[in-house]
Amino acid sequence: MSTITKPTGQVLISVEEFARMQDAGLFEGRHVELLDGGLYEVTKNPPHNYAVDALAEALRELLPRDRFRVREEKSIEPWGHWSPEPDIAVVRGPKRRYQGRHPGPADIVLLAEVCETSPQDRTEKLAGYAAAGFPAYWILDLGLRQLEVYADPAAGANPAPAILAETESVDLVIDGQKIGTITVAELLPQFEKGVTP
């Protein structure tokens, strides 16, 4: 399920080829994802890690543990030329449900990525997650200090997000039901005046 036209001569890597590369240790010590047949290295730094942790904690405080799990930086079911590892995946059911398999689109109610400069979150990942049928996608942008909410990315070719500033709050909605509200500011790293990350 390729969503982006590749230039002539560019090699698309399949999920099976990517798995063989990983098994051979080609990416040892590196965090690499397969997105629409291309390889992308993910850089993690303290602000990114803080925001992933803050978002996971905020979600866990709202979600009933018997119905949903918050998974941080874990694999989801690969497909075609895709093997992403989203920063956050909110999945249905108890954790034992995923002892022998990764969660797929029918299991996942929300995917979220934390970004600073990586354009893949708004291009490859947005298109791929939409095409695969994931019901909701959030991008927490640390540089712009905002949260982009794609309530139904599969609904259109170029879904328009709701963009929430750090002074605003987002409603956590699952299966059409509001579960709770999260303030965007509580997800963002706070720096002292004059001190940069």
pLDDT, tens digit (0-9, with 9 covering 90-100), for 113-124: 999 867 778 888
Write the pLDDT tens digit of every residue in 87-118.
Answer: 999 999 998 999 999 999 999 999 999 998 67
pLDDT of residue 154: 66
Q: Which residues of 84-114 are buried (b: 16+ CB within 10 A; e: fewer)?
A: bbbbbbbbeeeeeebeeebbeeebbbbbbbb
What are 142-179's pLDDT values in tens digits? 999 999 999 877 666 566 889 999 999 999 999 999 99
Q: What is the pTM of this model?
A: 0.86
Residue 7 scores a pLDDT above 70:
no
- What is the DSSP code (8-state) at residue 117? S
Residues comprising the chain, all counted: 197
> CA 124 from chain center: how many Å?
12
Q: 148 burial class (0-12, 13-18, 19+ CB within 10 angstroms)?
A: buried
